[in-house]
Amino acid sequence: MPRADHSISRSDISENALKVLYRLHNAGFQAFLVGGCVRDMLMGLHPKDYDVATDATPEQVKELFRNCRLIGRRFRLAHVVFGRDVIEVATFRGHHQEEDDEQTAKLSKRSDEGLLLRDNVFGSLEEDAERRDFTINAMYYNIADFSVADFAGGMQAIKAREIRLIGDPETRYREDPVRMLRAVRFAAKLDMKISASCGDLIPKLAPLLANIPPARLFEEVLKLFMSGHGLRTYELLQQYGLFNQLFPQLQPLLKKADSKESQLIRQVLINTDERVNQDMKVTPAFLYAAFLWYPVDARCQELQAEGGISPLDAFNMAVNDVLHRQLQRIMIPKRFSLPMRDIWALQHRLSRRFGRRAYQLLEHPKFRAAYDFLLLRAEQEGGELEELGKWWTDFQDADAEGRKALLDSLREGGVKTSRSRSKRRRPRTKKPVQ
Ligand code: ATP
Ligand code: MG
């Protein structure tokens, strides 16, 4: 498509992306925008990041840019870094020959199930297009003449509003099962449907996700739920039998759509989508804490039913068990799992709010997140939790006098607090509020 036949103008493209394209071009390399940014611009959307494809090798890219890092092993590429903005520069990928020759075997590797373990054979632009996942993601904007190359019928698919894999769907899913998650992600984000030949296979092949390293799934899952279309994505993941692969401990609790567990997941996603769309901060810690709260709760009750264990110990063990199992599937870095633990632990501490403790809790770095989560639970469960949530809302809003009055009211109202009974009669550990 020559410049006159498409809608992409240079003013739509970020300055940093243009810088990268022009420097590659001026050094005599081919340079294209590719993937999501081209697709989004052609659909009239604003791209959130820019990917570049080139015939320069990662090393050649590194020589051209001082601010360049080479990353990835499975898929080696260059990141050109401008502060917080990163332009991803990938060398054209080529076909994988039979792995009889030693050189190729080093660069590309498949498992017995057809999983592509390494994809570092370089090739031509046309070959690169064939290695891309979906037809809508295989369009290239050429900085040399501002044309768009569409090898796989991406424009047609945009018009038909269909997500279609390039090549044989089963082979392409087996090469990289993450493509199943990507199909769902794009369907939700772009409000498109997954073509029948690509969608029908997903429930059958979903278990292949078990072969994906948990670290890679962490990134993918963030994109699934934190890009502003989380609820729709969740519904599609359920429809295609993928959600269970990501959160196997949660799935048994979601059998009924109107259960409190299902409602909580939906609500946290609705809230997350709202925040993303208003450019407010969202953290995976909150989302994961919400997703895994009921599995922790269920495990805690199971442990207590077995007997011989205090409620607090049962709770701590349940937290460890559930996190441990989840980490087999999706890696959660410590910087998120620690705040998750805080949010969970605070759910119990928020009900013990006598005297100084209430003030101390307000100062806790995770108080706000824990309070928000408490309100979310209260919305599903009502009753005691609703009162507790309201008390904390009032307590935060009140002045010094008001706070004192609120604390006094606990005693008068006979609400159980940590010191409302004599110390000796109080059990060392309190039963958590369920
Ligand atoms: P987003 O809007 O989320 O950035 P995107 O399409 O740009 O969507 P990226 O993950 O940034 O997605 O990938 C950039 C491009 O790289 C894709 O458009 C696609 O062409 C190619 N690609 C990414 N992941 C895969 C994959 N697993 N298999 C094949 N091609 C892929
Ligand atoms: Mg992208």
pLDDT of the chain, 434 residues: tens digit per residue? 999 999 999 999 999 999 999 999 999 999 999 999 999 999 999 998 999 999 999 999 999 999 999 998 778 899 999 999 999 999 999 876 655 566 566 666 777 777 777 777 888 999 999 999 999 999 999 999 999 999 999 999 999 999 999 999 999 999 999 999 999 999 999 999 999 999 999 999 999 999 999 999 999 999 999 999 999 999 999 999 999 999 999 999 998 878 899 999 999 999 999 999 999 999 999 999 999 999 999 999 999 999 889 999 999 999 999 999 999 999 999 999 999 999 999 998 888 887 788 888 888 899 999 999 999 999 988 889 998 899 888 888 888 888 888 888 887 665 554 444 444 444 445 455 54
User: Which residues form the pocket of ligand 1, taking CB atoms under 6 Å from any ligand atom?
Assistant: 35-36, 48-49, 51, 132-133, 137-138, 176, 178-179, 223
Distance of CA 180 to the CA centre of its chain: 14
Supply the residue whose CA is at minimum distance from atom 2 of ligand 1: 36
Q: Which residue's entry shows tokens 């609820």?
A: 231
Determine the atom of ligand 1 nearest the C-alpha atom of 35.
18
Annotated active-site residue 258? The verdict is no
How many whole angstroms from 27 Cα to the centroid of ligand 1?
26
Phi and psi at residue 148, in whole multiples of 5°?
Answer: -115, 125
Tokens of 16: 């940093």
Tokens of 412: 């008068």
How many whole angstroms from 137 Cα to the centroid of ligand 2?
9
Domain ranges within the chain, ordered by starting residue: 1-160
| Predicted pLDDT of residue 432 | 55
Helix axes 383-397, 367-381, angle to 10 degrees: 140
How many whole angstroms from 288 Cα to the centroid of ligand 2?
24
Phi and psi at residue 347, in whole multiples of 5°?
Answer: -55, -35
Candidate from 95, 132, 166 with most ligand 1 atoms within 8 A of CB, to mutate: 132
Tokens of 100: 């009889």
Annotated active-site residue 399? The verdict is no
Candidate from 95, 133, 221, 276 with most ligand 1 atoms within 8 A of CB, to mutate: 133
Question: Could you give the CA distance from residue 70 to residue 64 in angstroms, rounded to a whole number?
Answer: 13
Annotated active-site residue 342? The verdict is no
Give CA separation, 174 vs 97, 107, 169, 204, 251, in Å.
Answer: 17, 19, 8, 11, 24
From 55, 119, 128, 133, active-site residue: 133
Measured from the alpha carbon of residue 75, the closest ligand is: 1
**Are the CB atoms for 38 and 141 separated by under 8 Å?**
yes
pTM: 0.87
From 12, 49, 321, 372, active-site residue: 49
Tokens of 161: 């509003």
CATH architecture of 1-160: 2-Layer Sandwich (3.30)
Measured from the alpha carbon of residue 53, the closest ligand is: 1
